[in-house]
Amino acid sequence: MSLIENTLGKVRRAAAAAAKSESLAPPRALGVPGVGVPVEARPDSPTMPDYDYRRVAVDIFALRAAGHLSDASEDQRFAEHFRRIKRSVVAKAIGAGAAADARLVAVTSPLPGDGKTFTSINLAFSLSRERDLSVLLVDADLHKSQITRDLRLEDQPGLVDALLDESRDAESFVLRTDIPGLDILPAGRSVEDAPELAASARMAQIVTRLVARNPRRLVLLDCAPVLAASEVQGLMQLPGQVLLVVRAGQTPQQAVVDAIAQLDPKRLQGLILNDARHGAATYYGYSGYYGALDDAARAG
């Protein structure tokens, strides 16, 4: 049994034990004590003003050039990979008895270069195709702001602006795209202490409101790598679902083990094996990484 398989087994056992001990407890609310708004809030609530959303076009060619989308000839194959990944995400987010924070999904990785932003973008595209859901993709990696840069949204206010100004509702910075069902919250302005802001109580308040605004919305956070940014540990306490992206044959086994050890087993849904080719999954000695999926979720 590999180190990773053994560690994932411990994660699952810990999560199962925690779930059993909390089975009689009331559903936990998203956020931290004293912040946020009720889950029942709706867009027509006085606390949820309507906005004249700014609209942007998603440059598909720019995303392909940046390596965030597959070649056009591979679109169908990749669509199927991410369709399989999203099924468990959606089921947990809106299934019977789902907690509010299950609609807040974080994508991270052990180290830079593992493919988390590639995964975030493709998963967001796949989720946007759901008939009864919409997805808000949030650039929460305030070290790199890769999504913001590659979509050429550097001049747009966003998450950092809302973090710095508590009088502003982050919803007012959300951009509607020309892809039905997909909205984007860019990183916003560049400031020196932006990464630390991501672990603040204000961040908990912001994501709570983003989720509460629409009961059919999934909020997808593209976060910094767990082992490369210390503030990520605080941020990882907010989402109900955490997806850990590992690059086959490149991410060191010990880095995966260390990353898993830093994540709450109740929130970690599993691993997404990225760039797996011709048996590369055997590098980790495990073939079924992602949560409830039977086979490895493989995105090249």
Q: What domains can you pick out in the chain, each with its CATH number? A: 3-19+45-299 (3.40.50.300)
pLDDT of residue 58: 94
The two three-digit tokens of residue 243, written as one number: 């997806």
pLDDT of residue 198: 87
Task: Compute the distance between CA of residue 177 and CA of residue 114 in angstroms, rounded to an integer.
Answer: 27
Least Cα distance to 82 among 277, 259, 274 occurs for 274
The sheet that has 175-177: what strands, in order across it?
54-56, 175-177, 182-185, 134-139, 217-222, 104-108, 241-247, 268-274, 298-299
pLDDT of residue 167: 94
CA 24 to chain centre: 28
pLDDT of residue 284: 43
Compute the Cα dihedral for 188, 190, 194, 200 and give only its sign.
negative
For residues 226 and 259, is the Cβ–Cβ distance under 8 A? yes
pLDDT of residue 35: 35
Predicted TM-score of the model (pTM): 0.81
Q: Cα separations (Å) of 281 from 4, 145, 211, 230, 277? A: 12, 29, 35, 28, 8
Q: Cα separations (Å) of 1 from 4, 131, 278? A: 8, 41, 21
pLDDT of residue 268: 94
Task: Compute the distance between CA of residue 183 and CA of residue 117 in angstroms, rounded to an integer.
Answer: 16
Q: Could you give the dihedral angle defined by the CA atoms of residues 212, 215, 216 and 220, in that order, rounded to the nearest 10 degrees? A: 30
Query: Distance from first CA to last CA of the chain, Å, rounded?
Result: 26
Task: Compute the distance between CA of residue 276 and CA of residue 67 in angstroms, rounded to an integer.
Answer: 16
Pick out the chain residues at pLDDT < 50.
Answer: 24-47, 278-300
For residues 78 and 215, is the Cβ–Cβ distance under 8 A? no
pLDDT of residue 6: 66
